[in-house]
Structure 1
Amino acid sequence: MPKQLVIASTPLAEWALLPKHEKQEIPERVGFMIRQEEGDYKCIDYLVAFKEICRLAAKPVDEDCRVKMCEWCYQVVDFCKFRRETVGIGMSYLDRYLCSRKGRRSLSDRKEYQLVAMTCLYIAIKIHEPLEMETSLLADLSRGCYTEMEFANMEKKILEALVWRVSGPTPLGFAQNLLLFLPETVHSAVRGAIFDYARYQTELAIADHYFVKIKPSLTGMAAVMNAMEGMDTSLLSAKFQSKFIHTVTKYTEIDMKEVEHIQDRLSKIMLALLNDEQKKKMEALIDLEDEEEEEEYARRSRHSKSRSRSPFSSPEVGASRKVMRSPRGSSHKSPTRSGSRHKSSSSSVDQ
């Protein structure tokens, strides 16, 4: 079930620090990013395209390998206080490398795949963060699996395969720029909340192999649309949402029908997380609230009886309330940052 944002609990500092651009620049910049994703930065589903390589391997790379490496990467950037978008940038390097002729063979060797993924994060940090991570630290983080020289050699190999194209668009980059199409009358706090929820969804998408073949513009737009649809209409009216969609379709080539499919995929991921991690807690919370409501209703009923001496008995409150009240999931609270922080006891892919 979709979640509704709570503005007061949303960190807005990062949105406030984002660079401001002139309105007339936005269509040109988004158009350039779309041309990038359709050109040199285009990706394919390499697990399908090169399935013969995977079939011949004893332990080929699979979708779970991506999940584990994403978990590890997020743990590293969180510990080092880097931006979480850097993980998405690094994973985009990984995907494009695995699509290349040089990178295909890594699909048959999990140990090499892990080396590639770690090196891609290292490259992303070196280029997009103010501080550089030493290869010696990377070797330590690998728990002795790889040497500094192996990381250095792999870095050179990856950059050559990517033809040194390391400034491609990301889903979060699209989300950030597309939000600039919102009417200027939309409050900055609302913009910040939408951005934060969209960012949360793009982080989830990074770990899902399904999104490898999806254009970043579609993922970014879908994340924004889900975030906007989760907003209370008192904060963002349906009129503003319609105007936003009209403006985006007017100035970009983004297909809203395709966006809807991606929205559904993102919603299912969030719903799966809710079911796995919070279902029991929510059920317990609902039961507790039902008990409190029953006690309160009974107290008021006794108080009313003592005053009016009504001959009519009170209804079965618990049963009726559970039927009439909307489910807990439909009250849509903002996902916490911890929801997107993956927990992993090991940084390695099973080899």
Structure 2
Amino acid sequence: MASATTEGHAVHIDAFVRQERLPSYTRRDYLSSDWQNALWQARIREVSCGPAVRPAADRCDPYTHRLEDTARGSPSSVVPSPLAPAAPSEICSRWRDKIVEWKYQIVDRFDLDRGLVAVSSFYLDRYLSMHYVDEELFQLAAMTSIYLAIKVHSTKKISIEAIASTGNGYITDAHIQAMELDLLQGLDWNLHPPTAVGFIENIFPILAAELGSSSSGPDGTGAGLCPSLGGDTSGVLEFAKFLSELSVCAYPFVNARPSSVAIAALGYGFDYFALPPECKSTLQQILIRHDLDMKTDEVKECKKLLRRIYKLAMPNDCRGSWESMGSY
């Protein structure tokens, strides 16, 4: 019989599954040249309509970097730029990689939950899929997204001035406040995205309970996964969460469902720690109850990519080599 704790985790998984299948919680391949060119053309058409399409007072124009304040009558800008945008600015995955690394530095610096980076990266990806940006605006949107994620999801709050101070003087708290409104409107106030780490943290305790774990871990996460089955189980949860963090850094995962990344990370963890087949079969039974499947093509592709980025992150760890890993 399921406990109240595992029932709670099951409810969360079902909610995540529903969310990730909604258009408002999906992401696009916005770095493709076709997508970027379409955003640029849309901005050109908007500019050609004249000042009637300009944002209202006290809103950040996401294309000219301006913060209009009619009360003062003097706009300020992050970086001066012409009204009409230049040709597509070659926004690339390397920008995103660096920004995600910076976000992890921020949450570690302020001792915050690293899961906030996944949430803020969803905010940023959704915004960038809808707006033409250049490098300076990219930085502003990134800073605002981590500030918003902390504001909404963290019990420990960080001041907007503290976030602005990381911008090397180019971005002020006023810019972040203005961009926050644009970000909220662009997200249509959908601020609770499902994440791979969220799936992992809710699937793992159920898995531990069903495998008859003698210890669910001090935090109730099932960190002592079924020692009676043999194998090194103590690090599976943390290993899978680490893989989910690596996935946030890698742009190719933008199009993948968070559940697929989570399932792939758990499967890779089972392989890495040489857990017996019972673990995978029990996981598959749990997934089926939640309309998920560890044998989908997307999960398999995610697992392959996780192996690749893990080897890049940990090149001296022969244990995680391609040859030593199993398959679904």
TM-score, structure 1 as length reference: 0.67
Matched, 1:202 2:241: no
CA contact (8 A) 1:174 1:216 kept: yes
Indicate the residue corresponding to 1:282 in structure 2: none
Indicate the residue corresponding to 1:51 in structure 2: 36
Q: Distance in 1 between matches of 2:141 and 2:320?
A: 42
Question: The residue matched to 2:89 in structure 1 has which SS?
Answer: coil
Amino acid at match of 2:295: M
Question: The residue matched to 1:23 in structure 2 has which SS?
Answer: helix
Indicate the residue corresponding to 2:195 in structure 1: 170
Give me the CA root mean square deviation: 2.2
Q: Given the alignment, which residue of 26, 33, 42 partners 1:42?
A: 26
CA contact (8 A) 1:198 1:220 kept: yes
Indicate the residue corresponding to 1:260 in structure 2: 300
CA contact (8 A) 1:90 1:123 kept: yes
Indicate the residue corresponding to 2:54 in structure 1: none
Q: Which one is further off, 159-168 or 178-187?
A: 178-187
Correspondence 1:131-280 to 2 at 5 A = 131-184=156-209, 185-186=212-213, 187-188=215-216, 189-191=223-225, 193-233=235-275, 237-254=276-293, 256-257=295-296, 258-275=298-315, 278=316
Normalized per residue, the structure richer in helix is 1
Question: The residue matched to 2:235 in structure 1 has which SS?
Answer: helix
Matched, 1:330 2:319: yes
Deviation at 1:76, TM superposition (A): 0.9
| Structure 1, unpaired ranges of 5+ | 1-19, 279-327, 333-351
Q: Distance in 2 between matches of 1:254 and 1:58?
A: 39
Deviation at 1:147, TM superposition (A): 1.4
Deviation at 1:25, TM superposition (A): 4.4
Matched, 1:105 2:144: no
State the Cα deviation string for residues 16-43 of structure 1 (Å, max 9, x = none).
xxxx953344444322211111112111
Question: The residue matched to 1:145 in structure 2 has which SS?
Answer: coil
Amino acid at match of 1:33: F
Q: Number of residue pairs matched?
A: 254
Residues 240 and 138 of structure 1: CA distance in aligned 2, closer, same or farther (over 3 Å): closer
| Structure 2, unpaired ranges of 5+ | 42-85, 217-222, 226-233, 322-328
Residues 25 and 128 of structure 1: CA distance in aligned 2, closer, same or farther (over 3 Å): closer
TM-score, structure 2 as length reference: 0.71
CA contact (8 A) 1:60 1:110 kept: no
Q: Distance in 2 between matches of 1:146 and 1:331?
A: 41
Q: Distance in 1 between matches of 2:306 and 2:266?
A: 11
Indicate the residue corresponding to 2:102 in structure 1: 72
